[in-house]
């Protein structure tokens, strides 16, 4: 019996306990043993879901350990719920702070007067709580019950959050007659993974008991070159596929059925056949142009500047194309459908294209539905068989480059003429080229002075134009300095802002104090004002896919004139290296003659997406590449 009790205690440790029952060892914890430096950690988080009397009942019990003062933010709790028509209600809420004083447990319950219920908007309400007596070393815990006036409401569950999680469990029973498609995205080792039929159930997701549990889940951290939190956080997503209230003869949703309904909708056909009034004679002027490309460029640039975006992404019109054109104001779908109709009237073949953008979460392709997409753009094909993807809602977009927020995203492309569709991933095989030209003089006083020309195309150009507009010139120049207090931007000149076919040319006159230099030696890092100031891949591990968006190609060419009275002690040597699969390559060519040192770097990417499993190879390559980028020119006084 003693052995059994000891085993039970071992199993219990690090999992769940009844409300108010806690191990003293948890109060004595000073650090998270699986994530160094964590300021707080979830000891356990348990959620149960069941159906009672045509209602969904959810209970949750969560306990958090505050490890130091930086973790005190965890003691401020906000819980949101959908309150419209009393669909969701919260009851049985209790919360307390637990401290250890002189080896005695001290419980400080939340007084009801400190629980604030308020409306967030017309549909949502929140409960806000601040835990009293919370301090470094405290444990806070709370529990509550959510009652939903629908028997098949299973919400998504995140196993991962902003602080590490020692144990997390979801225990749910799906009622007979309800079918869900379940999408687990779990990278940590499953502590429990149970699926068992309940009475009256079957092999589908109906009448089934599920239990998932994970241990030692690291905190979620935003990682460079990825899409959005929703794409990468560890979670389980539930999509209600069928209910017992559905007509038994109802067919399951499929893409042919979903797209067929859309294409045969009278409102859809009406919005695609609007002959808009043309007080600006846009159509007349477009028809005078010779090629399809010229017509597309002209109409795209006119519409994106005439019709202002209201800041809302939408996959459908709110007030209709005609109203948006009349007000010169609309959401993303309305602006692009205005463009669609002008292109159609100009004789250009257009395809309405639904997209889920990079920041909206990736499409689950086996869940047919128009609600999967958050915006509508255009796919346009010319008679010369050139294809463009157009989004006129952003005035900084260009007709001849795919906007960054659409790259590597799913798209549903319609052909209204033959009522067909295609689901595809939007990719741009053409490299996004960025060129940096440096012409500088090394001064004997330990300074570097010169001019850098930065030539940006496509999305780099759009980003720079938008950033300049948002920040203004003074703050934009501060951004160019990249927090280098030794660098001074003397002047900035910009050309080709409006020309889609030409790169943005930014001429930057600068001065840099070479602080590592002394009376005998001058040291120069030859990558000043380039895109390669710091290595983005320093973390030992990575969870998210690396998604650069574009396939990139960088060319950096620099000329450094050396001062009189100094000789070249050392310069970086020519080198060439590549990833094992040739997906990324790096080359450096160096020449030194007649007082001028010339260095050229070429960095080419043949892929834009790399899996998390490939991260160790990427990390190793970037480490070597940045070591080479940081190799300095060394001059010695003669």
Domains and CATH numbers, the chain: 2-242 (2.60.40.3140), 255-425 (3.10.620), 432-637 (2.60.120.1130)
d(CA 217, CA 214): 7
Residue with the larger pLDDT of the pair 554 and 85: 554
pLDDT for 157 equals 93
Block residue for tokens 């806000």 = 128
Stretch 166-173: mean pLDDT, rounded?
95
Q: Give the percent of the chain with pLDDT over 90.
A: 73
pLDDT for 207 equals 75
Stretch 495-521: mean pLDDT, rounded?
93
pLDDT for 103 equals 86
pLDDT for 246 equals 64
Stretch 139-158: mean pLDDT, rounded?
93
d(CA 173, CA 207): 7
For 403-435, write each residue's pLDDT tens digit.
999 999 999 999 988 889 999 999 998 899 999
pLDDT for 501 equals 85
Stretch 173-192: mean pLDDT, rounded?
87
Enumerate the H helices of 89-184 as residue ranges.
none
Q: Give the percent of the chain with pLDDT over 70.
A: 95
- Would you say residue 117 has pLDDT above 90? no
Cα of 14 vs its chain's centroid, Å: 32
What mean pLDDT is reported for the chain? Answer: 91
For 288-297, write each residue's pLDDT tens digit.
999 999 999 9
pLDDT for 248 equals 43
The confidence band for 201, taking pLDDT boundaries of 50, 70 and 90, is very low
- Would you say residue 280 has pLDDT above 80? no
SS3 591: strand
- Would you say residue 9 has pLDDT above 70? no
Cα of 428 vs its chain's centroid, Å: 19
Torsion angles phi and psi, residue 467, rounded to 5: -65, -40
Residue with the larger pLDDT of the pair 300 and 593: 300
d(CA 280, CA 294): 18
Residues 6+ apart with CB under 8 A from 445: none
d(CA 527, CA 631): 9
- Would you say residue 198 has pLDDT above 80? no
SS3 413: strand
What is the number of alpha carbons within 13 Å of residue 86 lying toward its C-beta? 2
Torsion angles phi and psi, residue 443, rounded to 5: -95, 145
For 235-249, write each residue's pLDDT tens digit.
999 888 777 776 543
- Would you say residue 110 has pLDDT above 60? yes
Whether the Cβ atoms of residue 352 and residue 378 lie closer than 8 Å to each other: yes
Burial of 388: CB neighbours in 10 Å, binned 0-12, 13-18, 19+: buried
pLDDT for 203 equals 43
Stretch 200-205: mean pLDDT, rounded?
44
| CA torsion through residues 34, 38, 39, 43, sign | negative
The region of weakest confidence among 175-189, 249-263, 308-322, 329-343 is 249-263
- Would you say residue 460 has pLDDT above 80? yes
Q: What DSSP line would sit under 359-381, residue for residue?
A: GG----TTS--GGG--EEEEEEE
For 22-65, write each residue's pLDDT tens digit.
999 999 999 999 999 999 999 999 999 998 778 999 999 999 99
**Terminal Cα-to-Cα distance of the chain (whole angstroms):** 86
Block residue for tokens 């209201």 = 310
The confidence band for 199, taking pLDDT boundaries of 50, 70 and 90, is low
pLDDT for 1 equals 39
DSSP annotation of 339 reads H
- Would you say residue 14 has pLDDT above 70? no
The region of weakest confidence among 228-232, 384-388, 506-510 is 228-232
For 343-354, write each residue's pLDDT tens digit.
999 999 999 999
Count the neighbouring beta carbons within 10 Å of the beta carbon of residue 164: 21
For 368-405, write each residue's pLDDT tens digit.
888 889 999 999 999 999 999 999 999 999 999 999 99
pLDDT for 53 equals 78
């Amino acid at each position: 019996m003693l052995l059994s009790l000891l085993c039970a205690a071992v199993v219990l440790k690090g999992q769940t306990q009844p409300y108010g029952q806690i191990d003293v060892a948890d109060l004595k914890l000073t650090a998270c043993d699986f994530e160094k430096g964590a300021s707080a950690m979830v000891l356990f988080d348990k959620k149960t879901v069941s159906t009672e009397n045509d209602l969904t009942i959810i209970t949750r019990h969560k306990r958090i350990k505050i490890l130091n003062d930086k973790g005190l933010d965890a003691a401020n709790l906000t819980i949101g719920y959908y309150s419209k028509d009393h669909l969701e209600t919260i009851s049985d809420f209790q919360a307390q702070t637990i401290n250890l004083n002189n080896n005695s447990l001290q419980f400080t319950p939340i007084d009801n007067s400190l629980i604030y219920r308020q409306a967030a908007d017309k549909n949502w309400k929140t409960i806000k709580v601040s835990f009293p007596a919370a301090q470094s070393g405290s444990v806070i815990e709370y529990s509550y019950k959510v009652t939903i006036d629908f028997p098949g409401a299973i919400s998504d569950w995140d196993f991962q959050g902003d602080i590490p999680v020692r144990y997390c469990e979801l225990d749910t029973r799906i009622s007979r007659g309800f079918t869900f498609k379940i999408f687990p995205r779990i990278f940590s080792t499953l502590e429990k993974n149970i699926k068992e039929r309940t009475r009256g159930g079957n092999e589908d997701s109906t009448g089934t008991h599920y239990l998932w549990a994970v241990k030692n889940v690291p905190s979620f951290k935003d990682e460079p070159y990825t899409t959005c939190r929703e794409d990468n956080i560890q979670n389980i997503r539930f999509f209600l596929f069928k209910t017992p209230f559905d007509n038994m003869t109802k067919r399951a949703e499929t893409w042919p059925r979903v797209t067929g309904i859309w294409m045969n909708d009278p409102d859809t056909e009406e919005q695609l056949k609007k002959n808009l009034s043309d007080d600006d004679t846009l159509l007349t002027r477009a028809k005078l142009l010779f090629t399809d490309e010229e017509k597309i460029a002209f109409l795209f640039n006119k519409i994106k500047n005439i019709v202002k975006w209201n800041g809302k992404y939408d996959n459908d019109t709110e007030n209709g194309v005609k109203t948006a054109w009349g007000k010169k104001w609309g959401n993303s779908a309305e602006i692009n459908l205005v463009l669609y109709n002008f292109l159609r009237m100009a004789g250009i073949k257009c395809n309405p294209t639904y997209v889920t953008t990079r920041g909206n979460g990736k499409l689950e392709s086996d869940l047919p539905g128009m609600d999967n997409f958050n915006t509508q753009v255009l796919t346009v094909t010319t008679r010369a068989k050139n294809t463009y993807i157009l989004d006129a809602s952003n005035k900084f977009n260009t007709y001849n480059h795919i906007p960054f927020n659409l790259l590597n995203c799913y798209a549903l492309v319609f052909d209204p003429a033959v009522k067909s569709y295609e689901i595809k991933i939007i990719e741009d095989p053409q490299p996004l080229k960025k060129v940096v030209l440096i012409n500088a003089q090394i001064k004997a006083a330990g300074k570097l002075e010169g001019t850098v020309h930065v030539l940006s195309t496509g999305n780099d150009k759009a980003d720079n134009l938008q950033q300049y507009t948002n920040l203004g010139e003074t703050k934009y120049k501060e951004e160019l300095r990249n927090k280098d207090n030794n660098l001074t931007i003397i002047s900035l000149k910009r050309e080709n802002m409006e020309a889609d076919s030409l790169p943005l040319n930014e001429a930057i006159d600068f001065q840099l104090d070479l602080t590592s230099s002394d009376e005998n030696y001058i040291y120069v890092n030859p990558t000043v004002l380039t895109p390669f100031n710091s290595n983005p891949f320093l973390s030992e591990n990575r969870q998210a896919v690396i998604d650069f968006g574009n396939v990139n190609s960088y060319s950096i060419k620099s000329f450094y004139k050396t001062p009189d009275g100094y000789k070249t002690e050392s310069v970086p040597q020519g080198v060439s290296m590549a990833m094992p699969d040739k997906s990324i390559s790096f080359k450096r060519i160096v020449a030194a003659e007649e007082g001028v040192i010339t260095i050229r770097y070429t960095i080419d990417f043949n892929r834009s997406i790399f899996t998390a499993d490939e991260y160790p190879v990427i990390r190793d390559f970037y480490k070597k590449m940045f070591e080479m980028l940081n190799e300095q020119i060394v001059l010695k006084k003669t």
